[in-house]
């Protein structure tokens, strides 16, 4: 499968070298701060900081634009629904019947949408800079059973793979003259049925191959003691990053 459909981006940046547990702590800290400081300025600053960290970690602008395209429907939907169902106080800029739209409701909806975007970007920062084996070791070191850690990492690994497989099947069908864009919505859904069938069959074959490979390695077999070739160890950089994150949370509590 093309590396474009793989979340992990190989590199030797600061975040690539960080212990995966520190990256999970970063996700927790960013989540806490986003909910403690829900102002749009703080949320926007967090988004800009995360974009800078992604660029420092070697994530290309094309990848970042792809993330925004993925998040754009949700980013637009949340302010719209919030504006309709939670108009908020203050004068309305548009009123028709029971519908009342206010600037405060729009501002709050945009803030909520950007907060979810920031949470998504910090998670993608972890996924882009952590390979599958390191992810499993990090989750296992935090007390998660190995089988659970493996299941979670495989799910995160193969979601973009399935998405890439779907795009490849679509491109192949379009090269054969299949028109996917014209006609009514029902017609467009119907012409996509063969594509979905091909993707499902390929996904089942992939899952079967993974199951055979896991069985050959003794996954779940009784009496098997699993060892690790590379053990996770905190370096001075990891300790410094952990102390900085903890100090940030404590400082935020004092500021509030």
The verdict on 202 and 242 lying in the same domain is no
The verdict on 174 and 68 lying in the same domain is no
Instruction: State percent of the chain over pLDDT 70.
Output: 90
pLDDT at 179 over 90: no
Mean pLDDT of 119-124: 93
Q: How many domains does the chain have?
A: 2
Domain that holds residue 216: 144-224
* Cβ atoms of residues 78 and 116 within 8 Å: yes
* Of residues 86, 84, 107, the one with CA closest to residue 95: 84
Average pLDDT, rounded, for the chain: 83
Distances, alpha carbon 155 to alpha carbons 2, 152, 242, 256, in Å: 17, 5, 28, 38
The verdict on 219 and 250 lying in the same domain is no
The verdict on 80 and 202 lying in the same domain is no
| CA angle, residues 8, 62, 188, in degrees to nearest 5 | 95
Q: pTM to 2 decimals?
A: 0.74
The verdict on 70 and 192 lying in the same domain is no
Structure tokens at 215: 């069985």
Residue 33: what are its φ and ψ, rounded to 5°? -65, -35
The verdict on 241 and 123 lying in the same domain is yes
Gap between the Cα atoms of 7 and 98, Å rounded: 46
Gap between the Cα atoms of 180 and 173, Å rounded: 9
The verdict on 110 and 12 lying in the same domain is yes
The verdict on 85 and 112 lying in the same domain is yes
The model's pLDDT over 18-67, given as tens digits with 9 standing for 90+, comes to: 989 999 999 999 999 999 888 899 999 999 999 999 999 989 899 899 89
Report the pLDDT value the prediction gives residue 225, as an integer from 0 to 100.
Answer: 67
Query: Do the domain assignments include residue 2?
Result: no
The model's pLDDT over 123-161, given as tens digits with 9 standing for 90+, comes to: 999 989 988 778 888 888 888 777 777 777 777 777 777
The model's pLDDT over 78-93, given as tens digits with 9 standing for 90+, comes to: 888 888 777 777 677 6
């Amino acid at each position: 499968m093309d590396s474009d459909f793989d979340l992990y981006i190989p590199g030797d940046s600061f975040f690539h070298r960080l212990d995966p547990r520190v990256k999970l702590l970063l996700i927790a800290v960013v989540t806490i701060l986003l909910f403690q400081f829900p102002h749009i300025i703080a949320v926007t600053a967090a988004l800009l900081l995360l974009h800078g960290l992604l660029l420092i970690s070697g994530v290309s602008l094309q990848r970042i634009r792809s993330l925004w395209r993925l998040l754009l429907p949700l980013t637009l939907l949340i302010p719209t629904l919030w504006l309709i169902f939670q108009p908020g106080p203050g004068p309305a800029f548009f009123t028709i019947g029971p519908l009342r739209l206010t600037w405060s409701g729009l501002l709050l909806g945009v803030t909520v949408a950007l907060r979810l975007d920031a949470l998504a970007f910090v998670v993608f920062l972890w996924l882009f800079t952590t390979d599958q084996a390191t992810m499993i070791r990090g989750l296992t070191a935090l007390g998660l059973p190995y089988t659970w850690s493996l299941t979670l990492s495989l799910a995160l690994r193969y979601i973009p793979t399935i998405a890439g497989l779907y795009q490849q099947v679509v491109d192949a069908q379009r090269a054969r003259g299949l028109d996917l864009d014209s006609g009514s919505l029902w017609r467009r859904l119907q012409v996509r049925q063969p594509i979905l069938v091909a993707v499902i069959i390929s996904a089942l074959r992939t899952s079967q191959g993974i199951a055979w490979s896991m069985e050959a390695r003794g996954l779940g077999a009784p009496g098997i003691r699993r060892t690790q070739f590379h053990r996770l160890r905190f370096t001075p950089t990891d300790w410094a990053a952990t102390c900085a994150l903890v100090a940030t949370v404590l400082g935020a509590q004092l500021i509030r």
